[in-house]
């Protein structure tokens, strides 16, 4: 077990962060600390918790609070076809180009959260080539969230609102309670597994990596580590699809060129 972090910061905060890392298995040292503290401090304010020590004591005895805190720090907010125009560009331009180069594509949804992103990719691939042998790896560091993604049920109306109507009818099943589940055929296209972007080895020989609205929460050193890892995981000509506010500074130094909106191509 690692030792608690040390330094000039508030020792109560550092002890709280260390305890939270041990409880969740999510490494927090390379998150943007000011941003992380603001989120957690807002939870303390809403619940009238007097300080970090009291917060730690409450977490140990309140499973509902613990779940809320974990969701707060890992930002498990997602939806199908998030920024639909970006996925339309994948459907009409980028994935068809990749298919011409390799008939069986290997995709990685990194930081997949509750599964909306990899299921969106699976819809697109099924529409382009329903008999293909494409594979999608979907990973996240948060095991309970990953379990929900693997289950593929309980999606709310606002999480599926951007799915084109024809695809919604084809791939999503509405339940009596108004939530949605993905079709079994779609689930079979995806392999879900736990992966820590800051500590674990990356897969290799990939045609595309989709990692959106994840890297933005890390500090600059961690971002550089992730982007270098993504570059090594992609084959020449492979694509990295990032979030709208996640521009890669000096991307050419990592072997990327800008290929579209929020899309980078690994140089040959």
CATH number of residue 208's parent domain: 3.40.50.150
Domain hosting 27: range is 11-74
End-of-domain residue from the set 74, 104, 121 = 74
Judged against a pLDDT cut of 60, whether residue 45 lies above it is answered with yes
pLDDT number for residue 178? 92
Measured between alpha carbons, how far is residue 172 from residues 27, 96, 169, 182 in Å?
Answer: 34, 24, 6, 5
For residue 43, the model assigns a pLDDT of 82
Residue 137 and residue 27 in one domain: no
Are the C-beta atoms of residues 5 and 17 closer than 8 Å to each other?
yes
Beta strands in 55-155 (DSSP E): 106-110, 135-140
pLDDT recorded at residue 35 = 74
pLDDT at 18 over 80: yes
Which SS3 state, helix, strand or coil, does residue 256 take? strand
HSE at residue 56, side-chain half, CA atoms within 13 A, is: 14
Q: How confident is the model at residue 144 (pLDDT cuts 50, 70, 90)?
A: confident
Q: Are 39 and 151 contained in the same domain?
A: no
What's the pLDDT score for residue 73? Answer: 65
Residue 1 lies in a domain: no
Query: Residue 31 above 80 pLDDT?
Result: no
Q: What's the CA gap between 152 and 12, in Å, rounded? A: 39
- For 90, which DSSP code? I
Same-domain status, 132 and 28? no
Verify that 220 and 246 share a domain, yes or no.
Answer: yes
User: Cα separation of 27 and 221, whole Å?
Assistant: 14
Region class of 25: left (phi > 0), else alpha (psi between -120 and 50), else beta: left
Task: Give the C-alpha separation, 213 to 14, whole Å.
Answer: 26
Mean pLDDT of 26-53: 79
Same-domain check for residues 216 and 243: yes
pLDDT in tens, 151-163: 999 999 989 999 9
Q: pLDDT class for 81, splitting at 50, 70, 90?
A: very high
pLDDT digits (tens, 9 = 90+) for 82-129: 888 999 999 999 999 999 999 899 999 999 999 999 999 999 999 998
Percentage of the residues of the chain whose pLDDT score is greater than 90: 52
Q: 10 Å Cβ neighbour count for 43?
A: 15
Could you tell me the pTM of the whole model? 0.76
Which range, of 33-37, 71-75, 79-83, 85-89, averages the lowest pLDDT?
71-75
Mean pLDDT of 48-72: 82
Where is the domain boundary, 42, 74, 106? 74
Rounded alpha-carbon distances, angstroms, from residue 145 to 2, 27, 108, 142: 24, 16, 17, 5
Handedness of CA 124, 120, 161, 86 (dihedral sign): negative
């Amino acid at each position: 077990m690692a030792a608690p972090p040390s330094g000039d910061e508030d020792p109560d905060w550092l002890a709280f962060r260390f305890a939270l890392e041990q409880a969740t298995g999510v490494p927090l040292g390379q998150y943007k600390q000011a941003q992380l503290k603001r989120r957690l401090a807002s939870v303390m304010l809403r619940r009238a918790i007097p300080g970090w020590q009291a917060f730690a004591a409450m977490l140990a005895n309140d499973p509902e609070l613990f779940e809320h805190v974990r969701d707060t720090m890992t930002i498990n907010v997602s939806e199908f076809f998030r920024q639909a125009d970006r996925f339309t560009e994948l459907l009409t331009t980028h994935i068809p180009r990749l298919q011409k180069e390799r008939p069986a594509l290997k995709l990685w949804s990194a930081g997949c959260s509750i599964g909306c992103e990899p299921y969106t990719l699976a819809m697109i691939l099924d529409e382009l080539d329903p008999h293909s042998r494409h594979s999608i790896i979907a990973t996240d560091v948060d095991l309970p969230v990953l379990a929900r993604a693997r289950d593929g049920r309980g999606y709310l109306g606002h999480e599926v609102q951007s799915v084109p109507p024809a695809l919604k009818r084809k791939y999503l099943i509405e339940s009596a309670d108004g939530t949605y589940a993905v079709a079994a055929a779609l689930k079979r296209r995806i392999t879900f597994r736990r992966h820590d972007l800051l500590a674990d080895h990356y897969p290799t020989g990939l045609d595309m990596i989709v990692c959106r609205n994840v890297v933005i929460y890390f500090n600059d050193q961690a971002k550089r580590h992730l982007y270098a890892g993504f570059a090594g995981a992609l084959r020449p000509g492979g694509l990295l699809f990032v979030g709208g506010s996640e521009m890669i500074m000096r991307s050419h130094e990592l072997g990327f060129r800008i290929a579209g909106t929020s899309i980078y191509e690994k140089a040959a």
